[in-house]
Structure 1
Amino acid sequence: MIIETKIIEKPAFIVVGITETIHFNSSLPPSENAIANLWGRFGERIPEITGLLGWRSFGLMLQNQDNSSGAPFDYTAAVQIYQDGNIPEGMTRIEVPAARYIVLTHRGPLDGISEAFGHFWGHWLPNSPYEYDGGTRTGKYEFEFYDQRYTKPDDPNSEIDLYFPIREK
């Protein structure tokens, strides 16, 4: 369930994480898919990262608009760091550029997150004075933001913010 929608200007920030190409399988619930498996592996390696900035995790996606729906995409499970954090072997440092975002806050079990993505693409964006401003053409990421409000995948009170880069039409 979407409990809040807001537009913000977010400054650039730096993350370190593991990037994998995801071959999305829509028959699996989000709590059991390839992204969830990536988060499990990454979570075990977070203690290797120095310079963490609080308890902030990000699921970054840099979409290629030329890809067809359902095409593989790169996903990075990451944590925010200060500028001087180290990069453990097999991880990547990404500077996420400043951007204007529509932020949708999803409350509920992780398996309901697809509804929030569907709401953005199928309802909010086509009915707004904005267009999508992310992806490989602009270098702007869309991302999931996890903080202390996210507790566990099956908690009906867990919250996740979804950030979509936008610009006026």
Structure 2
Amino acid sequence: MIGFFEPLRARTLALRVEDITEIGPLIELSTGDRYHIVRLRAGQVEAYAGEVSALFERPVQLLPADHATKLLYVSADIEGAWVTPAPLIGWALCLDGIIRPVTPAGVDDGHLHPPYGWFVETDGRIYACGDTGRENAFDSEDELKAAVFRWWQNDQPKPSAEGDKA
């Protein structure tokens, strides 16, 4: 059973995926609330935008990962890039069709949104989990860290020239 949960409003909608016939477009109110009309076999409910996103990111099938694979999260700051590893125990095929990594903390190491990290395959090569829009494979952690640091540097705001003041 897949459930919608909104803890701030003390609301729980327990719905089975097979009972959902349609999820309507996003409706935005002037109050800032955003929701979808979810049509069911018997009636309909309003589900907040975050609830619908969480629904689509839930696994419908789990596949075990090879025991030698691991998940890497790479971060960067002004001093360089560093790697935080996590054991990769499986892969989750989610309702939205995206395959996400599974660690002991859960799907995508307990996070719901990208970035999904990188995984080290049994041959030692490192591959992106999902589409990064950039390079997707590296031969070593050092190459990966160098690339992430380079991307971080390129994403930083550029200082304005001295004569640009209005």
Q: TM-score range by the shorter chain?
A: under 0.3
**Highest Rg: 1 or 2?**
2
TM, length-normalised to structure 1 = 0.26
TM, length-normalised to structure 2 = 0.27
